[in-house]
Structures are given as C-alpha cells and as structure tokens.
Amino acid sequence: MFWSKTYSGGPVKITIIGTFSNGPSPVADGYEIYLFLTPTTWGVSPNYNYTIPYNSTAGEGWLTYVPSHPSYVEGDVMMPQSSTPYIMVQWDPWWQFGSSGATGQWNVWIVNNTNGNNPSVTPSPSPSLGSGYAGWDGIGTGAFQPNPGDRINITVTYDPSTNTLTGIAMDLNTGQSANFMLNLGNYYTPPSSGNYVFGVGAEPRSGWALLYVAMMTSIKPTPSALPTWVAAAVVVIVVVVLIVALLMRRRGSR
C-alpha cells in the first residue's frame, strides 16, 4: 500500500499492526516499510493500482544467493520505480531462527530503481554480512517468533537531523521485541522538503496481513503563528494567576 505526502522536514514515523495465519516454521519474511520514493512513471491514484513499474527479489532471482545483492533472507520483496534512491526497512523473523550470521531481525536497504526494471541495493558489500551481500542485513538486537494470530506492532522512525533509522517490532501477545538503530552515513542524503510516496508491505508467505497503518511527521508552526501562540499562552497564564489571587483574597477576607 502506497500513499503520497508533502514532507516539510523533521522526523517521520510509520507504525503498523499486523498478524499472520499460517506458514512454515520458523516463520519467515514479515513486513516492509518504504520511505521517500519519488516515482516518475507511476503515481498514487486508481489509474496505477495494477500498473506500478517495479521489480522484485524473486524477479531478479535474489531468493537464492546472488553476489552483490541483498541477502536471500527476505522473501519476495517489491522494489518500485523511483527517480531518486529510497529507504526500505524490513522486519524478517526468519533471522536467528532459520538462518545464522545475524545479530537481529531487520534488513535496511537503500534502493536505486530509476527505470523500474533494474533495481540495485547499497551499501555493497554489506556492512553487516560482508562480501557477497548488499544492504544492512540481519541487524539489531532481540528476536522472537510470533504465533499464528498474534498481533505484531512495528514502528520505524527516520530522523533527518542525524540521518538515523530506528525500529521496534513487538509481539503484543507475548511482549517480546526486536530493535535496531542505524546511522545511514554517506549512503543516504536526508531528503529536502517536497512531495514523496511512502508505503508498507506484507509478505505473501505465511499469510501476513496488515490491520492498521499510521504515519506521523513533525508539524512546525509558521513564523507568523508562533507569536500568536505565545501571546495566547501568556494570556492564559495571567488569567489563571488572577483567579488564584482573587480566591486567596476572598478567603483572607473571611
């Protein structure tokens, strides 16, 4: 699911709640969150519901080991067209249970797919898995395997002031969680103000489903509005002080 948003700076937080119904054990693949796409050959409208130019990890043959591409621990992930690089974050519970060599259950990729049919992922080689892989794969701390029907809360936040991503996935039925914090460094430039597309995805394997999605961005008051807000606050404080003083005076006169 994709939506457009006018971005004016500041942190961006996307929260989803999901569940799953079945699948192999260990449970695999999970959810993706997309940040700051700038599509030029498609858009967020009914006209593009079934015609978004994209490629996928399955389409690229990345579900098996392919040098200089993301870890094959991710399932069939959709990578849409965008004229600029964008951020993809995935929580994949397969890590630490079905595959070794990872500290956590998160994948983070900087995706380039200007034409829609030739995606690439940076950084390469992977800072977490080394040569032969791309992106930050299997990062973070903590891990859990949810049970069918469990409610899973996932929140990912991007802070442009530090160029940092943070994320937490929590099983609301058991309280178990998996976290990560990552500075994107020189691999990603914080976006300027403008119109962007954001999105979320659920993997088809294991019957993953999205139940709730929310996005929050910071709201900065305009310079003209700020003095009005300050003046209003001062008036409220003065009124409260006068009321308290009047009540104390009446009590004193009694």
The mean per-residue pLDDT over the stretch 81-103 comes to 88
The mean per-residue pLDDT over the stretch 36-62 comes to 70
High-pLDDT (> 90) share of the chain, %: 47
The mean per-residue pLDDT over the stretch 160-172 comes to 98
User: CA-CA distance, 254 to 109, in Å (whole number)?
Assistant: 72
Name the nearest CA neighbour of 135 among 70, 184, 54: 70
Pair 206, 18: CB distance under 8 Å: no
Task: Using pLDDT thresholds of 50, 70 and 90, give the confidence band for residue 76.
Answer: low
Alpha carbon separation from 212 to 64, 91, 200, 209 (Å, rounded):
32, 16, 11, 10
pTM of the predicted protein model: 0.79
DSSP state of 249: H
The mean per-residue pLDDT over the stretch 66-74 comes to 52
User: CA-CA distance, 229 to 237, in Å (whole number)?
Assistant: 12
The mean per-residue pLDDT over the stretch 164-181 comes to 98
Is the predicted pLDDT of residue 217 greater than 70, yes or no? yes
pLDDT at 242: 40
- What is the third-level CATH fold of 2-220? Jelly Rolls (2.60.120)
Task: Using pLDDT thresholds of 50, 70 and 90, give the confidence band for residue 117.
Answer: confident
Q: What are 126's strand-pairing partners?
A: 130
Name the nearest CA neighbour of 109 among 119, 98, 101: 119
In this structure, what token pair is assigned to residue 210? 């999205």
Domain ranges (residues) in the chain: 2-220, 223-254
Asked whether the CA dihedral 19, 25, 27, 29 is positive or negative, the reply is: negative
High-pLDDT (> 70) share of the chain, %: 71
